[in-house]
Structure 1
Amino acid sequence: MTLKMKTLTLTFVLAGAGLVAGCSSPSVITKTDGSRTVTSDEPDFDRSTGTYRYEENGRQVQVNKDRVDRVETLD
């Protein structure tokens, strides 16, 4: 593989990694009791169960929508 091909391949790999890293949307979930949780990604809302889902300390957490006051995306 020539140096030019290696450079081109590395450029595409780094660009792809940048796109993946740029897709996360840190969020703050404020619950009705006033507590706040910062998540690394925007939580998913499951309409069938009425819960927000997010990962916290390596485990999946579900919170009923009635306990959530608001979800804000951090910029």
Structure 2
Amino acid sequence: MNVKNLALPLAVAAFLALGGCATPTVVTLQNGTQYLTKDIPKTKTSDGFYEFVDISGKKIRVKADDVATVRQED
């Protein structure tokens, strides 16, 4: 087969594989505040915080004691 004939199917397969990597997650704090994230947040860091990027692109650091739940969005 010609390389040009393989390029499109390979590009489509790579795009679909990368698209499945994100796992939208809801982080709920003890006070009821909820953050929707693009991906699962990092677990507690060595200094006791969760770190994640919300859907607007803002980097959030939350003290682990303030987090009530971390669950995948339905």
TM-score, scaled to structure 2: 0.84
Q: Which runs of 5+ in 2 are unaligned?
A: none
Q: Any runs of at least 4 consecutive aligned residues in structure 1 with deviations exceeding 3 A, and if so which? A: none
Counterpart of 2:66 in structure 1 is 67
5+ residue gaps in structure 1? none
What's the counterpart of residue 57 of structure 2?
A: 58
Aligned with 1:23 (options 21, 24, 27):
21
Once the two structures are aligned, what percentage of the paired residues are identical? 30
Question: What does 1:3-42 correspond to in 2, within 5 Å?
Answer: 4-42=2-40
How far does residue 7 in structure 1 lie from its aligned partner after superposition? 2.6
RMSD (CA atoms): 1.7
Q: TM-score, normalised by structure 1?
A: 0.83
Aligned length: 73
